[in-house]
Amino acid sequence: MKFPRIYNLIEVAKLIDCDFIGDQNFPVSGMNEIHVVTPGDIVFVDHPKYYDKALNSKATIILINKKVECPKGKALLLSEDPFRDFNKLTDYFKPFNNSTTSISDTAIIGKNTVIQPNCFIGHHVVIGDNCFIHSNVSIYDDTVIGNNVTIHAGTVLGANAFYYKKRPEGYDRLKSGGRVVIENDVDLGALCTIDRGVTADTIIGEGSKLDNQIQIGHDTIVGKKCLIASQTGIAGCVVIEDEVTIWGQVGCTSGVTIGKKAVVHAQAGISKSLEGNKTYWGTPAQEARIQLKEMALIKQIPDILSDLKKIK
């Protein structure tokens, strides 16, 4: 998330009432999660296990819960609770604005686009030309939809990220200030749910086609010309490269990459990154060719044992 202007370090420190290390005029241009940070961004870290990763990331402002040596060319915001203060910044720069109409006056809708009854279109949504939005679709604030997109009934774009911190009193949600971006020529089936990014974008790439009842988690990027079949669940921060095919009821953990032109068979469980141009199945997902060969060899075991008995 980029701020509407460049702030300085002391301005941001005052917003969350915390101390800082660095030049008070150090520039702050945005806030992001660690996998998408760029210079000028704030990243938060609240566990010693991840201190080094945050301090050595591309982020130049680190919101941290311990006084540590500040890397050269960076600044620190010292917080008792970085998770809480990151939420405060989201509330400040991307506050919730309730709607009073089904289609916001700030929405921009292109030529020849059809919107069926009972749809909700939030603030600052952009929908391109020649789109078809079927009934009961909900499009949350700031979503961007390209040209020639079809969205079937009951689909929800832009719900909150499934991202929580466990506290003694219960779970504390990390607030979502990112967007959903649907590129040109995408088809979304009925009852799909695509969550907004925490601070960046969840993207469905040009020409991709999603079946019914698919869940796409926050900050996930689906490449161009991908096919994803029904009841697939993709966690947050996944990268699905171009022309990947994923068949029904596949489950995918967060933070992995599925390489270009990979094919994943139905009901596979993806627990680690997969190379492109290969076919996978099973849980954990493995290359199908190797698994089939292993299964064929296993079936030969009774015959091998029988032959051994004859030799004896």
> pLDDT by residue (tens digit) across 171-221?
999 999 999 999 999 999 999 999 999 999 999 999 999 999 999 999 999
- Mean pLDDT over all residues of the chain? 95
Tokens of 191: 């009852």
Give the model's pLDDT for residue 311. 73
List, for residues 89-121, the tens digit of each pLDDT value: 999 999 999 999 999 999 999 999 999 999 999
Whole-angstrom distance, CA of residue 89 vs CA of residue 87: 5
Q: What is the pLDDT of residues 53-89, one digit of tens each?
A: 999 999 999 999 999 999 999 999 999 999 999 999 9
Q: What percent of the chain has pLDDT over 70?
A: 100
User: Contact 143/157 with Cβ under 8 angstroms?
Assistant: yes
User: At 141, is the pLDDT very low, low, confident or very high (cuts 50, 70, 90)?
Assistant: very high
Q: Degrees (nearest 5) of the Cα angle 49, 51, 55? A: 150
Tokens 């030799």 sit on residue: 311
Is 90 strand, coil or helix? helix
Give me the residue spans of the domains in the chain: 2-93, 108-290
- Asked whether this chain's domains 2-93 and 108-290 adopt the same fold, the reply is no
Q: So which residues are the catalytic ones?
A: 218
DSSP 8-state class, residue 274: B
Encoded tokens for 43 = 């990243």
| C-alpha–C-alpha distance, residues 60 and 299, integer Å | 58
The CATH code for residues 2-93 is: 3.40.1390.10
Q: Which tens digits make up the pLDDT trace of 7-64?
A: 999 999 999 999 999 999 999 999 999 989 999 999 999 999 999 999 999 999 999 9
How far is Cα 51 from Cα 71, in angstroms, rounded to an integer?
A: 12
Q: Domain spanning 108-290 has what CATH number?
A: 2.160.10.10
pTM above threshold 0.75? yes
| pLDDT(312) > 70 | no
Look at residue 299 and tell me whether its pLDDT is greater than 90: no
